[in-house]
Structure formats: C-alpha cells, structure tokens
Structure 1
C-alpha cells in the first residue's frame, strides 16, 4: 500500500469548502476523490491538512491518500492535471512514509487574508479579496495585532462551540503588508480554530476603521467571549498559504 502526498492549490469560489458532502461535485475533497478513484479503480479517501470553508482558497494545501496502484507519481500528477477542473491543480505528487498524515503531522500553518482597500471594488479581485471602501489605519491594525501574538486562549476569536476542545493556540506572527490598494495580512501559528483567522481579520479591520481601539484587543482576548470581538471577515479574501511539517 502506497501513501501518496499531494501539494495542491485551488480557487474555492464555486465550492462549499474542502470537506466532502453528499454533493461531491461542490467540494474540493469530493472532486479530487472522484478523479483519484477513477484513476486507481479504488475507493480513495483524501486526507487534507485542514478543512477550508466555502469560498476559501488555497495556495499550498497538503493532502495524502493510500492506494495499491502501480502508477508512478508523475503519471498520477499528469492524470490529475488532465481530469481535475481548472480551478483545482495538483502541483506535486510523491510517495512518502506510510506513517505520514497530512493533518496530524502538521506543525504550523500560514494563512493569507487579502483586502482591497479603495472606494470602488476591483472586479478582477472580487473573488479573491475583501473590499473595504473606507481608508484603513494600518499602524493601528499593527498595534492591535501585537496583542494577538503568543500563546493564548482564543475563545473570543472562534465560533467553535465545543467546551471540551482546547481553545489555546500559539500565534508566532501577524504581518500586515500594504502595496498600493492591496493589504495582505499573514497569520502564522501552530494551529487555528474554526473561523479564527476570519474573526481576527474582522476585528483588525474594525480597529483600522476606528471602531475598536488597538488597546482593547487585550481585553477582548482575556474576556473569552465571541461577542467582544469584531465581525467575521468574508471567506473570499482568505487563502491557506502554507503548511509546515
């Protein structure tokens, strides 16, 4: 039994997210499993490094699957490129150790959130950036972001309801870069809770708009209450940027 590791990227605009649903044609996992199952003649289960939500994109998602197929990795790669839709591309395919697990072995992740900050939206970025028409105060956003770095309980920044699962994570860095009208926020941490990046982004946007003080971020964190933080930023600006092992 081979364990195959894939690196892939996708435009999540027309999908209901990564996780397979009843309608497999509307999910990334479902689309890939369908192609791989036909390719190998087996029922293939694809394991992703994490689940991206509806409308969320990936620049370097990592996944693995097990197969008895005798096809070489390069042939598998070519097959995927031929039969997957144009908005899903497998960039690399290789056989790895049988113990490799794309989700459990992940050590850290980076997410990119892109904002188009201008009075008018850009029609070419409408699927890949959140449009904020009012000018954002980048310095205030950077001040606020510093409070989010480190090991904290991020209950205020998740919609995860479970009381049994730990909400403690470590965020290594949050970098905010601006070029012309594009603002990129790069979140780097050992793991992220459900909607955590989008809620942190929405809160930072509200700081940039002057609705929340940068210093308030400390109280939002310690309050451990979702209602204290800002809104959940739209999915179209979010990209899974990189997964580290």
Structure 2
C-alpha cells in the first residue's frame, strides 16, 4: 500500500470548510476524495493536517491518502488538478513512509490573517481580507500579542464546548506588520483550537481600536471564559499558510 502526501492550496470562499459532510458535500476533503475515488475506482479517504473553517483559505494544507494504484506521482498530480475545481489546486504530490500521518505528525502550524485597514474598501482584496475602516494601533496590538506567547490554556479564545481533551496550546511566534493599507498578522503554534485564531484576531482588533486595554488579554486567559473575549472575526482574511513536521 502506498502512502501519498499532498500539499494543497484552496480558496475557501464557497466551501463549508475542510471536513467532509454528509449529503451535498461542498467541502475541500469531500472534493479531494471524490476525484481520487474516481481516479482509482474504489473509495479513498483523505487525511488532513487539520480542519479549516468555512470560508478559510489555505496555501499549504497537507493531506495524505493510501492507495494500491500504480499510477506515477506525475499522473496522479495531473489527474487531480485536471478534475478538481479551479479553486482547489494540488501543489505537490510525494510518496512518503507508511508511518507518515498528516495530522498526528504535525509539529506546528502557521496561520496568516489579513486586514484591509482603510476607510475605502478594496475591490481586489475583498475576498481575501477583512475590511476595517477605523485605524488600528499596531504598537498596542503588538504589546498585547506578546501576552499570548508561550503555553496557556486558550479555552477563553475558543468556540470549543465542554471537552475532556486538553485546551492548552503553545504559541511560538506572533508578528504584526503593515504593508500599505494591509495589516498582516502571522501566528505560529503547536496547534490551534476551534476558532482560536479568529477570536484572538477579534480581541486584538478591540485593543488596536483602543476599545480595550492591553490587560484585556490577561483577563481572558485568567477567566477561561469565551464570552469575555472579542468577537469571532469573519473568515475571509484567514489562511492556513504552512504546516511543519
């Protein structure tokens, strides 16, 4: 049995997220499995590095699948990109060890979020950034983001309900930069809870707009209460940039 690793990019605008759904399946996983099953003539399960929410994009999603097919990697690559919708593209196809698992072997992930920060919206960036007309204070957001670095229980920054699983995660790096009217937020961590990056973004925006103080971060971490944190930012500006193994 061969184990095939994929690196995939997609525009998540019209999809219900990564995870396969029952019935009318407008998901990334569902589209990939449909094409691969058609290719080999038997059911194929695609394992992703993790789920992305509805509307979230990816430049470096990683997945793997097992097959007995003797097709070459180039044939698989060409077939997938020919039959997949144009907003899902396989960037790389590689045969890997049987032990490789795209989810269990992940060491860290990088997410990038884009905010178009100008009173005039952008016609070209509207699907791939969040539009915010009020000016953000970059220095305040940078100061606040430093409080999120390290290992914490991030349950207050998550939409996760009661769970027996750990909600402790480690954020290794956060950078906030500005290029023209675009403010770019980059997060690298060992894992992220459901809606965690989008809730952190909603919280940092409140601080950047001076609606909340920098100490707001401490309050959320200490209370571990979702209702205290900022709103969940809409998904169109968020990208799964890279997965590290």
TM-score above 0.5: yes
Structure 1 residue 243: deviation in Å? 0.3
List structure 1 runs of 4+ shifted beyond 3 angstroms.
none
2:204 aligned with 1:204:
yes
2:22 aligned with 1:22:
yes
Q: Deviations over 1:111-146 (max 9, x none)?
A: 001100010211211111001110000000001000
Separation in 2, partners of 1:24, 1:32: 14
Separation in 2, partners of 1:76, 1:24: 25
SS state at 1:26 partner = coil
Structure 1 residue 217: deviation in Å? 1.2
Question: Where does residue 241 of structure 1 map in the other structure?
Answer: 241
* Structure 1 alignment gaps of length 5 or more: none
Give the CA RMSD over aligned residues: 0.9
- Give yes or no for contact 1:35–1:80 (8 Å, CA) kept in 2: yes
Question: Where does residue 38 of structure 1 map in the other structure?
Answer: 38
Structure 1 residue 177: deviation in Å? 0.9
- Give yes or no for contact 1:115–1:184 (8 Å, CA) kept in 2: yes
The correspondence of residues 165-176 of structure 1 with structure 2, limited to 5 A, is: 165-176=165-176
The correspondence of residues 141-180 of structure 1 with structure 2, limited to 5 A, is: 141-180=141-180
Separation in 2, partners of 1:91, 1:21: 24
* Structure 2 alignment gaps of length 5 or more: none
2:6 aligned with 1:6:
yes
SS state at 1:92 partner = strand
Structure 1 residue 163: deviation in Å? 3.0
SS state at 1:77 partner = helix
Q: Deviations over 1:125-174 (max 9, x none)?
A: 11110011100000000010000000001111001002311110000011
TM-score (norm 1): 0.98
Separation in 2, partners of 1:24, 1:56: 19
Question: Where does residue 108 of structure 1 map in the other structure?
Answer: 108
SS state at 2:59 partner = strand
